[in-house]
Structures are given as C-alpha cells and as structure tokens.
Structure 1
C-alpha cells in the first residue's frame, strides 16, 4: 500500500507540474480562434507577435521557451504573444493549408513584418529590432508602415507573384494537354466514321424551319447533293449539350429549349456518284454560303440565313469532319452503331496520390466520402514507393488483407480526377474544386503528382491499359473422372467383371482400388489441413506491418 501511495503521489505531482506549465504557456501566449478574439488582440499597445497555424499543422511548440525568455529579458509589457488559428479567422485565410511556421509582427493595428519558418535566431533578431522600432515610433522618431494585417508584405507579394506565374504556366500546360487529347479523340472518331460515311453529311433543321424543307432540297440538288434520309428527332438534354459544343448558337436558351422539347428534323445528305469534291464543303457552300463574303447580298438568300427566326438558328450543317462525326453520333445513332463501335469514353485529367499501405483504411474511408468518391478512378497496392518502376501487389483491399505478410514499405496509390473529361457537357454542380481533395491531403501523402500532365504519365505506369478489366480466375483442378459410356457398354463391362471375379476370386475389384486411392488422397488432404491449421496459428502471432505506422527512426 505504501508503494502504491508513493506512485499515486508522484503521478499527482507530475500532473500538477504539467498543468502549471500549460497554464504558464497559455498565459504567455493568448489563444485566438475567432474573428472577435483577433480584433480584440489587435487593440493592445506595443509589439504583437502572432504564431499563425492551421488546423492540420499546430503552433510551433519548440519556440515557447525562446519566446518566454525574450519577453522576460527584452519585451516586458511592451511585447504580447499569441497563437492564431488561420482556419477560423478570416483575416488569416491566406495562411491556410500551410505546414510552414508563420510569424506575424503587428503594432498599432498595422502589419510590420512576416517571417516564415522556425528559425529561432532570426525570430529573436526580428523581435529585438521591432521592439526598438516601436520605441522610436512612440517618440515620433520613426514612421511605421501603413499596411493592414490582411495585406501582403513586399516579400510575400514577390513570392505570391512567382507562385502565380508557376500556377499560370501549370494551367496553360494542362489546358494544352487536355486540348491535344480532345483533338486526338475527335480525329480518331472522324477517321473511323469516314470509312463508312465519307460521302454523307448530316444536318439538323429546328422545329420552326421544317416547313421550308423543299427550299433546302431544291438548293442542294443544283450542287450535286441529294437528300438521302430524313427523320424527326427529339434531341434531348444530353444531345443538345453535345450539339451546343459544336455550334454555340444551338446552346442559346431559345434554340436549346426547342431541340430538347420539340421534334427537330435530322437530315442526311449524300453526294451523287458523278460529283467530285468534299461533301461537307459542297453542302456548306450550297446552304450556308461559306464561299461568300459576310456583306454579300447573295448570302441573304441562302437557306441558313432565311430560316433564322430572329436570333434562333434554323439549320445547322457541320463545318468539318470532326463536327460531322459528332453530329452523326447524336442524330443517327442506330445507323452508326450498326457498322461502327461506340466511341471510347474520354478519361478526365488525373494525378497519382501515394500513401503508406498502413494508412489504407483511413485513405479508403476518406476516398469514400461523397465529395471524394466521384474523383477516385482506380487504386492499387504496390511493393514500395517507387514511381518510375512500380511493382503491383494487388488491386483491391480485399486481396491485400489476404496477404499473409505485409511490410512498412508497401504503399497504396490512388488515381484521382482533377477535373471532368468533358466539362462543357457537365452541370455546374458536378464540377470538381481545384486541386487534390483536401480530405486526402490531411492524411499526409508520400507523393502527389506535380500536375495533371505528369499525373497522366505516372498513372500510366501504376495503372497500365487493361488494369480495370476483370481478372479471370483459374478453374480448380478436379479429379479426373472416367468418361461415361452408353448404358449398353457399361452393362457389357459389368458382366465381364463378374465373369473375371468368378474365374479369379483373388483379384481385387476395380472399385476397391479406386476407393483405396481415394482414401490415400483424403489422408493427404487431412495432412494438408493440419499444415494449414498450423499456418493459421502462426499468422495470428505474425505482426501486421501495414495496420499501424512504421517505427520511428532515431534522429
């Protein structure tokens, strides 16, 4: 009992000492968590030194001792210290999502300086210099800079400008890659359809223009083009979006509402056998006057001009082979689908994000959140953190959990969409926010692709073509069974066996031999089962190296 009491008293004393230190720390540095706390703290006289932190990266604990020493020896009542949470204070929003220690120096409500990093000597020199400047300012011998706390200092502005330039170059690079991929998809589709529809040009007549179909057919016949087919069609919302990308006038509210809700007329023009030239160019010249100047009077008599109803287009003819392919897919899907496979879905821009495999449950839990789940394209487990030569272990968590041995160096890699494959076809609420998902960033990734261009290259190594195709499971090898013969043959064999057993009673029947073999096999199976059982027992004592963080390495 004496020993127990001594231990309890020692624990109580330690707790009291810890509480005293914490109280001293709180007293040394004010805690600012709201806009009201921040605004109230700014009204204090003297030099204010604020340690700004974010929710996922706390304040700099290592500087507390130095700050206390500085306050006692230099600052006194003229120096006030605080820690401020940038996530909940609007004035500090520019410091959010940062892991670098940030120190603000403020006096009389004006921002004097900002220092980044836990450089104790530099921070001490800055505090000493700003305290001297504050004394001079109070005497009227020095004029303090006029800069609100939310404004950027000159060094911050330089860094922000350089960072913005980098971000702009990154956006331009990604946009160029997206446009190149789009052109490649459209070119591939155009080439594929040209194999069957090189002499065909589709067109769309809006509902209000259908009464003038005869004018259209009479115009094109003089150019060696005939109307091969026509059919009413309600384009629908998805089709209207695709057509609006090809012809912006079809995206205007009145035109879009017309083709979505009312039947339009899908036309299919065909070039006569003896007519030479590109059918798209000929059709556009006949109906739209592409060869005429904008001010030419003849242009006003063309069908595309006469069929307009105010600002609403009346007739749409694709301008090139890419548009022709897109319009054929929308207006004549059955005709196209009968001879050509559907287009390959576009893949959105994406990056690779890598974590330690021991984080797999937290990672997949975050990836399953409603805001993140639509952005998770693929994931897999790998033998190490290599980006250049990844070694795939398995493709899902169920397979990974079945692995008997796991190691700290194993990783889980996620393929995360950074945008939509075709944003022009999406609704505003379906758009993704810029940057990787914040929910995943809070877990501390081992690697994040620099941008979507680099991400595409890295994901091609992690998730090569065919990665998502279902795996074929090998059929289990069963025992070889004798082929069954007709009943007549079986009866003949049975009678022969009975005759043999009568003539030679010492011979063993075949059935006994087979049963004996089966018995041996069953015996082997039991032995294997025992071995498996031993393995299972051993697995229980084997540490799962991928369910907890790796051990800390000594510094």
Structure 2
C-alpha cells in the first residue's frame, strides 16, 4: 500500500511499486501532482515543500501530492535515467500534463490552471483532455524535439571537432612527407590538352608538357619521371587537397575515360638539408628552414607565370597559352601543379605512391581519448609513486611554470631535472599529466590524490592534451618520467706530479671501511689498472677536484678536423 505518515507527512504519498501506483490512480479524485524520481537522483524536496503550501492554501481535497520511484513502476519506464526534475499531472487515471525543471512560480501557475480545469470536470461542466500512458503529451513531444535537436547539434559539433582534428593530423603527416622530398614536385597534364595518336604506333602529344620540359632546363630543373595515368574524380579531389583551384564539372565527369600525363620534376642541384641536434632530445631532427615551397614556387612560375596563382595566371603562361575552351564556353586548364608543399605531398600520395612509401614516414594516429590532470609539482614524487603501476597509460608528463595553458612554459620532463632548478621554481611549478582512458581505475586513482585540475570528460581532455602537448612535425621521444637520475659525475684529484686519483671506499685489513683515493691515470694520460690506493687522512690537505679530458673524444675531434 502507498505509505503515509502522520501530520504534515499526510500531504504527500510515496509510490514505490506498481500496486501503490494503481491504487493511487484508482482511488483518487482530483488532480494528482507526482514528482517522478530515480534511485540515483532523488525527489525534489525543495519544490515539494512549496507544493504542500499550495495544497493547504488553495488545493484542498482536490489537489494531491505524490512521489513516485520510476525504477520500480512499470508505466514510468520512459522517465528512468533522467536527471532533470519531472512532474506528472494526473487526473481520472489519465496523464494530463508533463512538466520539467525547477521553475517554482511557473510550475505552480500551471498546476493551479489544471486544477481549475479538473474541478470543472468533476462538476460536470467540462471534459478532461488527457492521454494514455503509452502516449506522449504535447509537453513531452516538445521536450523530445528539443532534446533531439540538441543531440543533433552536439553530434554535428563533435563531428566537426573530429574532422578538424583529423585534418590537423593529415596536414602534419603531409608536412613530414614534404620535408623528406623538398627537391621534387609534380605537374599533371589533363586529357583535354593531349592529342591522341592517329595510329597504334604513334605517340601522344602534349604541347604544354613539351614547353614545360624545354623551360625546365633553363631554370635548373629536370624531368625525373613521367607516366600516363588514369585518374578518377576521387583521385583528383584527393590530389587537389589544400589547392586553391576548383576544376570545372564538365572536365571532371569524363576525366577517367582518358589518361593524364604526370611529370615528376626535380632540381638538378638538390637542396642540401641541414641536420641539427635538438637541445631537448638525443634525436637529430631535420631543419628545413625556408627549403619548403622552393621547388613548388619554381614550377608554379613555369606553369602560371610570376603570379604563381592558378586563378590569375599571366597571359603568356603555359596554363593560358594552352587553355582549352569547350563548346559550352567553359575554359579548362591544360595542366596543374601544386603551389605549396602541403598540396604537393597530397598529390604525391596519389600520383607516385611508391615514392612516398619508401620514405618510411610514420603516419600519425588520431590521439586517443584522454584526461588532463594537474598537480602541484612539489607533490611529484608522491604522484609518480602512485602512477607507476599504470605507467603505460601516461601519454605525456611534464613540469610547467603555471597551470594556465596560455602562459605556461615547459620547464622539463623529469623530476631530477626539476629539482636542479631550486626550491623557488619547484614551489610554483605544476606537474601536468596526459592520461589515456583505457579503463577508469588510473583516472580514479589519481583523482583520489586531490589534483588541482582534472578534465571533466575525455572530449575536453583530448583537446586539453593537444593544447598542453601539441603534436610535433618531427617525432621526438619523451623521456621516461620514472627514469632514474644519472649517476653523479666521477671526480678526480691531481697530485703534485699531476697524476690523477679517484675517490673510492675500501675495506681495510682491520675490517673498517675507509674513504681513499686510487691512482687511475698518469700525467701523460696513460690509464692505470689496479692503481695504488691510499686512505685519506685528516692531516692531508684538501684538494679541489679537477676535470679529466676524455682522450677518446679528443682523438675523434682531431680526426674530424
């Protein structure tokens, strides 16, 4: 049976099962206002207090209040899983209205209006307008449409974010390709500008290609490879990625019926790439500087003139001289070449895929769903100890000057490097961790430590990780955060004969461990195996340590010179 209390508690009824529900609807006359709640999101206590006041002051015996647990009542199954307060107005066993939210004045206004209608129904002066429990009220239909529209907008936003992230990754991958082939680019001659042979033994003729070949010799370029290639509309679309040109539809619809001529053009004197040593990694990275777009600019000048603009070529350029005009009046360019390195790399993937494959460019995967977690750097040792069991889930870890991504500067990756910066730096530094979402345990474990910040969800976290740890064009392996500090450098001392000694502890004949110095190198640089060891006595004067040159490195330097 529906549970009732005494006194004030009689103003509302709790419905915990189907029997309570059926009894309430069958035996109750008037308007019933039901607060529908779930096990994980309880009833709205504050609103019910206001409704009790309305019942006492205006509703009387025609207004009834109830709280119904949707998880235990069959007809309320569609209201399960909601976090928004939901109110059902019921009369004569029918659902009259469904209201959402906690706008108390508006809720009371609607309840009083429906109460007035129900009183007229009970007096026989009006008809009740309700719906069955398997139908949606007008309010629910409006709410469902709003929810659907909101979900659609959110899905579109997420799709746009995903597409933008994919495009950024694609551009980085294309940049990696372009960096490895700065001396080559392509020219595509379209079928409309190619004259087919009249006999089976004849050759295809392309005046535009011939003119470009002649001019290449003048500007230090050469044709490295040339082939006939059938291109589909999809091939063309991918080839023109990042290109400002849009080819006419009349040209594209039948382009696959005849082969294009594709030329691979390269510089006769290749551009030399410098290699530099990164200050933050042991990996040598390519520094191309202004090398990108050099050959692209040169060939674009041949095709479009000194404007290098497909939309505004010079009148004496190859693309204007050999332009083809169709019967419809549509003008079609005889050829195309990329005007930037991104477009060049995209075209190379379509036109010369085998040459791209041999570059062994590792394609960057999409970043996995992740959380960003920030701690005070002074707690780093504690956090590292807790996080070590799931070290494989840590995508990035570094120490920054603040927790503001707009102004923060990276200090270092390793704790022992941070400790060298001094207490003042450590006091204000922040430890920033990017944690892959493989399972919830690692995130919950770190969250239990009380971080300064943790991403509210993986969607936000993935964006934040890219902000704090932006992907690099050239791969650079980050050091292992749990990597032990390097051993302290060995210190040497010189005696009056300029021989070198190294400090070393030994167990003496009396069983005591004493600190002494062992002879390791003579003054002329000759190493000494099992050299003399003598203990350091209190009377012995303190000598400052000296640096010892690495003779092997010195010899290598001499050879290099």
Q: Same fold (TM over 0.5)?
A: no
TM range (shorter): 0.3 to 0.5
State the TM-score, normalized to the length of structure 2.
0.43
TM-score for both structures, normalised by structure 1: 0.44
More strand by share: 2
